A = this chain, B = another copy of it.
Amino acid sequence: MKLYDGGKAPNPRRVRIFLAEKGLEVPLEPVDMSALGHKSELISSRNPLQRLPVLELDDGTIISESVAICRYFEELHPEPALMGVNALDKANVEMWQRRMEFNLLLLVANVFRHAHPAMAEWEVPQIKEFSDSNKPKVLATLAWMNDELKDKEFIAGERFTIADITAMIAVDFLKPARLEVPEEHTHVLDWHKRMKARPSANA
């Protein structure tokens, strides 16, 4: 199998961090997104949505969508569990993963894609007003996360999960979006430091 990888963009990182936490090595096939490699025939023929990463199995089967790729490896290699261990835990992890995805990662991406000059060819039309309108929503999520992280070591509770990965790549994505975690949100900042201290953060 091989993983068509997209470098430092959030979703390719998300899958590489997941694999590192599982202790799995999958051959990477680098694709240069800055040269629009995700729109090449190589990738388009495998994922018509022209998004990365894309996993290709030895028989040619394709799995795209980061979380679907993670699900595949979670099912094949359940330990350490990054998506929950029983019905209630799996539901809880999925709840937090989706909360971080829709209320943080997606909103930060909206801020970035609709304002950053480097995205002018990617997001057509760029709508500056839409970028701006997402900023207070990002800040509201960070304030809520700060409250939630008062008594929790990890986003979904007592164990490191995919929800931490999604939240970490979203917080790392604040910088290119020209946002930051307000310094009074010490619980978010401490949690983020703990996440960055894990070897997987460099994957």
Contacts and interface: CB of A to CB of B under 8 A. Distances in A.
The main secondary structure of chain A at its interface with chain B is helix
Nearest to A83: B71
A87 B76 contact: yes
A76 B90 CA distance: 11
A95 B125 contact: no
Given A129-B125, A144-B48, A68 B87 contact: no
A92 interface: yes
B63 A87 contact: no
Q: Which of A95, A103, A144 is packed against the most chain B CB atoms within 10 Å? A: A95
Interface string A139-183: 000001000000000000000000000000000000000000000
How many copies of this kind of chain does the complex include? 2
Contact of A72 (B91, B98, B129): B91
A71 B91 contact: yes
A72 B49 contact: no
- Interface range, A side: 20 to 34
A130 B49 CA distance: 20
A68 B133 CA distance: 28
A127 interface: yes
A57 B95 CA distance: 15
9 A-B pairs with least C-beta separation: A75-B87, A72-B91, A68-B95, A68-B94, A65-B98, A65-B95, A130-B130, A68-B91, A71-B94
29 contacts: A48-B144, A49-B99, A49-B103, A63-B88, A63-B91, A64-B95, A65-B94, A65-B98, A65-B99, A67-B94, A67-B98, A68-B91, A68-B94, A69-B91, A71-B90, A71-B94, A72-B87, A72-B88, A72-B90, A72-B91, A75-B86, A75-B90, A125-B129, A127-B129, A127-B130, A127-B133, A129-B129, A129-B130, A130-B130
